[in-house]
């Protein structure tokens, strides 16, 4: 089946699974340890039930909203995912183009595989840089300087990665710990000649980190070997707040007290996230944390949430519980892997259509009408 015929995100996932070598699919799809949190992210949406308003004239509806003060077609942002260049040739650029076409902001990962400047040219509906803080702090500083020069308006600092989560699928394929693939992985790669020719022939690289490292240092040796600084703490957040003039978000919050602390430091928003179930297994999901955090934070800063969004109705549920927007992780990635830019566009179109349909079916004409009383 071509990606055009996929009627939902799950079907795009099935196509992505066939197209990608197993080790890439597992990298995208997998979570840490027993994948309890990965499953919990879906369960948090699945257990919510609507209490729709009836007999509302919903003939005129709008999904438009503002995210951090800027207009967006939908309360959603394409969130930061590393290694997109493994899903499709120049995957970051393809995904950024699809995101802009859908009228949404695009968040690029520190470990993405296209230059910030090139992404900035195509991410015309807003570009956010997700920043990891390296042990070698100067690398992060230079990355922020490059981001500012490229016109990126928002930095999102990820705080849930003091060490990597134990992603067991990646150990099985040989991607971890040292990219020494097992024989089974190598044979499987050979069984995907299309991928081999389009993606692997131009080995995707962590070009932004590589540039900040300077000549003579091997980025592949560097990335993934305890590179991120586990000493990162609240004082650092305050320093980044002073240093970065644009909007600043903290991603990886799961508690109201932490959200309040971040707001007091002056962040523009927090992202309730467990990193898509890839870090601490058995962590609660962002959706579990959302009601408490939204109530505690009030309008001190924006509250965003991610993890497990696979339906437009999931986006609506997050908004109804108090989120300004969601981040989309795997959903557009499955589209990207299934069909490049067009596939990612298809994924985003599915979500937008489902969101609009949910507005109508819940008796809502606008994003602001998605209120908490709609959820049982």
Ligand X SMILES: Cc1cc2nc3c(=O)[nH]c(=O)nc-3n(C[C@H](O)[C@H](O)[C@H](O)COP(=O)(O)O)c2cc1C
Closer to ligand X by Cβ: residue 81 or 154: 81
**What are phi and psi for residue 167, nearest 5 degrees?**
-95, 100
In this chain, which residue has its C-beta nearest to ligand X?
A: 329
Contacts 24+ apart (CB under 8 A), 13-18: 13/330, 13/334, 15/334, 15/337, 15/338, 15/339, 15/343, 16/87, 16/333, 16/334, 16/335, 16/337, 16/338
Least distance from C-beta 52 to ligand X, angstroms?
Answer: 25
Q: Which is nearer to ligand X, 3 or 334 (CB)?
A: 334
> Phi/psi of residue 129, each to 5°?
-105, 125
Residue 20 or residue 72: which is nearer to ligand X going by CB? Answer: 20
Nearest partner of 240 among 126, 160, 324, 132, judged by Cα: 132
339-353 burial by CB neighbour count: b if 16+ within 10 A, else e? bbbbbbbbbbebbbe
Q: Minimum Å distance from CB 328 to ligand X? A: 6
In the chain, beta strands by DSSP E:
65-67, 70-72, 76-78, 106-108, 127-131, 154-158, 247-253, 269-272, 302-306, 325-328
Q: What angle do CA 175, 180, 186 make, to 5 degrees?
A: 85
> From the CB of 365, what's the least distance to ligand X, in Å?
27
Minimum CB separation of residue 42 from ligand X in Å reads 8
Is residue 66 within 8 A of residue 325, CB to CB? The reply is no
**CB of residue 333 vs ligand X: minimum separation in angstroms?**
6
DSSP 132: P
Query: Nearer Cβ to ligand X, position 105 or 276?
Result: 276
Q: What 3-state class would DSSP assign to 245?
A: coil
| CA geometry: angle 252, 126, 274, nearest 5 deg | 15
Nearest residue (CB) to ligand X, 88 versus 364: 88
Phi and psi of 50, rounded to 5°?
-80, 145
Report how far residue 264's alpha carbon sits from residue 260's, in angstroms, rounded to the nearest whole number.
6
Active site residue 275: yes
d(CA 325, CA 67): 7
Comparison of 269 and 307: residue with beta carbon closer to ligand X = 307
Measured from the CB atom, the residue of 25 and 364 that comes closer to ligand X is 25
Q: Which is nearer to ligand X, 97 or 310 (CB)?
A: 310
* Minimum CB–partner distance for residue 178 and ligand X (Å): 19
Which positions touch ligand X (CB under 6 A)? 27-28, 41, 79-82, 109, 111, 130, 158, 251, 273, 275-276, 278, 306-309, 327-331
- Please identify which of the residues 146, 192, 225, 275 carries the catalytic annotation: 275
- For the bound state, the minimum distance from the C-beta of residue 363 to ligand X, rounded and expressed in Å, comes to 27
Chain mean position to CA 236 = 23
Shortest distance, CB of residue 87 to ligand X, whole angstroms?
8
Cα 75 to Cα 105: distance, rounded to the nearest angstrom: 10
Please identify every residue annotated as catalytic. Answer: 275
């Amino acid at each position: 089946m071509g990606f055009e015929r996929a009627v939902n995100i799950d079907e795009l996932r099935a196509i992505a699974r066939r197209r990608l070598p197993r080790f890439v699919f597992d990298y995208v799809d997998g979570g840490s340890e027993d994948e309890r949190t990965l499953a919990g992210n879906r369960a948090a949406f699945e257990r919510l039930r609507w209490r729709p308003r009836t007999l509302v004239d919903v003939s005129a509806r709008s999904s438009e909203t503002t995210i951090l003060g800027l207009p967006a077609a939908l309360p959603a942002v394409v969130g930061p995912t590393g290694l997109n260049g493994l899903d499709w040739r120049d995957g970051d650029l393809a995904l950024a183009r699809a995101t802009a076409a859908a009228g949404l902001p695009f968040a690029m990962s520190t470990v993405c595989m296209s230059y910030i400047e090139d992404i900035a040219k195509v991410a015309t509906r807003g570009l956010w840089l997700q920043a990891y803080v390296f042990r070698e702090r100067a690398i992060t500083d230079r990355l922020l300087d490059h981001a500012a020069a490229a016109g990126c308006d928002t930095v999102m600092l990820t705080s849930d990665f003091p060490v990597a989560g134990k992603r067991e699928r990646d150990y099985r394929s040989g991607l971890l710990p040292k990219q020494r693939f097992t024989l089974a992985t190598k044979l499987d790669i050979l069984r995907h000649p299309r991928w081999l020719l389009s993606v692997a022939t131009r080995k995707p690289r962590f070009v932004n980190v590589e540039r900040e490292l300077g000549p003579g240092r091997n980025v592949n040796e560097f990335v993934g070997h305890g590179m991120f600084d586990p000493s990162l703490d609240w004082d650092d957040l305050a320093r980044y707040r002073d240093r970065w003039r644009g909007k600043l978000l903290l991603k990886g919050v799961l508690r109201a007290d932490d959200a309040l602390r971040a707001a007091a430091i002056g962040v523009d928003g927090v992202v309730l996230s467990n990193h898509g179930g890839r870090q601490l297994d058995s962590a609660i999901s962002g959706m579990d944390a959302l009601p408490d955090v939204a109530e505690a934070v009030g309008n001190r800063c924006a509250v965003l949430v991610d993890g497990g969004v696979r339906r437009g109705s999931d986006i609506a549920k997050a908004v109804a519980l108090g989120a300004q927007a969601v981040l989309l992780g795997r959903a557009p990635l499955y589209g990207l892997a299934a069909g490049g830019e067009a596939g990612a566009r298809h994924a985003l179109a599915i979500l937008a259509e489902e969101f609009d349909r949910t507005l109508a079916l819940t008796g809502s004409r606008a994003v602001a009408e998605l209120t908490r009383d709609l959820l049982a």
